[in-house]
């Protein structure tokens, strides 16, 4: 009986590590549902906070999205490296985030693209749309906004890149779009002095690696589940 209890509790604990219920009622997945131990993946989100795009230094934007991610305990616990899906005149988005074949997932568990090649394939000649728009923030909220990118659909530096103040404007995308508009939206780019969100993507993560601790809510739920399961097992044993 004890062995069965611990087996059940182990499965329950694993489920709670994958999914973190936040105090505001939203849920974020630091491990996408349906993946197996050893699978690799990357997480992506749109920042709920905004910034101007006047800096020509890609490290400014990488630091911005890192600070946003690190403010969320569940994301900080991943020990991931966070980079912006954006281009300055010196560094393209494709180079900045690196090429991988790992699936890219939002924090609500939905897949965006099968890898970086698919992420940057929404333009001609491939025209492969994203599975889901990058419209979930770092805390799990849905956000329909214009987002700084400075990038062409294929991940190269756009004509209006971030920080190129000689041109005054910067390419931007639409967070809810799954077509090429996710990265280049509309015919009139916003001014670099406008304050807009950014797209953030993690380094490659592995299922079964270092996992974040469950939140306080998760620990409370786990303790209650332990007690309930133990009582049921005891009652079944008596009835037998």
pLDDT tens digit string along 2-23? 444 333 434 343 433 445 555 4
What's residue 27's pLDDT? 86
Among 80-84, 123-127, 141-145, which is the least confidently predicted range? Answer: 123-127
Q: Which residue has the tokens 């214009």?
A: 146
**Higher model confidence: residue 220 or residue 78?**
78
What's residue 95's pLDDT? 98
Judgement on whether residues 88 and 120 belong to the same structural domain of the protein:
yes
Domain hosting residue 226, numbered range: 1-23+215-240
Judgement on whether residues 12 and 46 belong to the same structural domain of the protein:
no
The span from the CA of 198 to the CA of 85, in Å, is: 7
Judgement on whether residues 105 and 181 belong to the same structural domain of the protein:
yes
Structure tokens belonging to residue 67: 């600070």
Average pLDDT over residues 29-49: 97
How are beta strands 199-202 and 40-46 bridged, if at all? antiparallel
pLDDT value at 62 more than 70: yes
| Residue 63, domain CATH | 3.10.100.10
Task: Tell me whether residue 11 is exposed, middle or buried, using C-beta atoms within 10 angstroms of its C-beta: 0 to 12, 13 to 18, 19 or more.
Answer: exposed
* Total number of domains in the chain: 2
Q: Which residue has the tokens 């041109």?
A: 167
Long-range pairs for 227-231: beta carbons < 8 A, 24 or more residues apart: 229/5, 229/8, 229/9, 229/12, 230/5
pLDDT value at 224 more than 50: no
Judgement on whether residues 12 and 60 belong to the same structural domain of the protein:
no
**Which DSSP state fits 205?**
E
Q: What is the pTM of this model?
A: 0.80
Write out the DSSP string of 127-169: ----SS-S-B-TTS-B---EEE--B-TTSSBPSS-BT-TTT-B
Query: Percentage of the chain with pLDDT > 90?
Result: 74
Judgement on whether residues 31 and 15 belong to the same structural domain of the protein:
no
Q: Which residue has the tokens 């991988």?
A: 100
What's residue 20's pLDDT? 56
What's residue 19's pLDDT? 53
Question: Angle 224-229-233 (CA atoms, 0-180°, nearest 5)?
Answer: 150
Judgement on whether residues 39 and 103 belong to the same structural domain of the protein:
yes
Average model confidence (pLDDT) across the chain: 84
Q: Dihedral of CA 200/206/210/211: which sign?
A: positive
Among 96-100, 135-139, 181-185, 222-226, which is the least confidently predicted range? Answer: 222-226
Judgement on whether residues 1 and 71 belong to the same structural domain of the protein:
no
Judgement on whether residues 48 and 102 belong to the same structural domain of the protein:
yes
The span from the CA of 56 to the CA of 89, in Å, is: 7
Q: Which residue has the tokens 């380094």?
A: 203
pLDDT band at 25 (very low <50, low <70, confident <90, very high): low
pLDDT tens digit string along 66-117? 999 999 999 999 999 999 999 999 999 999 999 999 999 999 999 999 999 9
**Ranked by mean pLDDT, which of 24-33, 190-199, 223-232 comes out on top?**
190-199
pLDDT band at 220 (very low <50, low <70, confident <90, very high): very low
pLDDT band at 176 (very low <50, low <70, confident <90, very high): very high
- In which element (H, E) is residue 88 found? none
Residue 216 Cα to chain centre, angstroms: 22
**Which DSSP state fits 115?**
S
Query: Percentage of the chain with pLDDT > 70?
Result: 76
Count of Cβ atoms closer than 10 Å to residue 203 Cβ = 16
């Amino acid at each position: 009986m004890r062995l069965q209890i611990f087996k059940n509790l182990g499965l329950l604990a694993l489920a709670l590590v994958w999914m973190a219920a936040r105090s505001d009622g939203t849920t974020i997945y630091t491990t996408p549902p349906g993946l197996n131990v050893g699978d690799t993946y990357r997480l992506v989100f749109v920042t709920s906070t905004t910034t101007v795009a006047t800096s020509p230094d890609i490290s400014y934007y990488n630091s911005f999205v890192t600070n946003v991610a690190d403010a969320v305990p569940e994301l900080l616990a991943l020990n991931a490296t966070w980079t912006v899906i954006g281009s300055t005149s010196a560094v393209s988005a494709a180079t900045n985030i690196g090429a991988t074949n790992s699936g890219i997932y939002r924090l609500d568990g939905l897949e965006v693209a099968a890898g970086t090649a698919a992420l940057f394939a929404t333009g001609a000649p491939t025209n492969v749309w994203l599975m889901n728009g990058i419209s979930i923030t770092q805390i799990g909220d849905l956000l329909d906004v214009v987002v700084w990118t400075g990038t062409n659909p294929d991940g190269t530096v756009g004509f209006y890149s971030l920080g190129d103040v000689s041109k005054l404007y910067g390419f931007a995308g639409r967070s809810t779009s799954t077509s090429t508009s996710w990265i280049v939206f509309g015919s009139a780019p916003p001014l670099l002095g406008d304050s807009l969100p950014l797209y953030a993507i993690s380094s490659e993560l592995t299922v079964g690696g270092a996992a974040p601790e469950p939140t306080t809510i998760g620990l409370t739920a786990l303790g209650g589940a332990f007690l309930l399961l133990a009582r049921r097992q005891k009652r079944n044993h008596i009835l037998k």
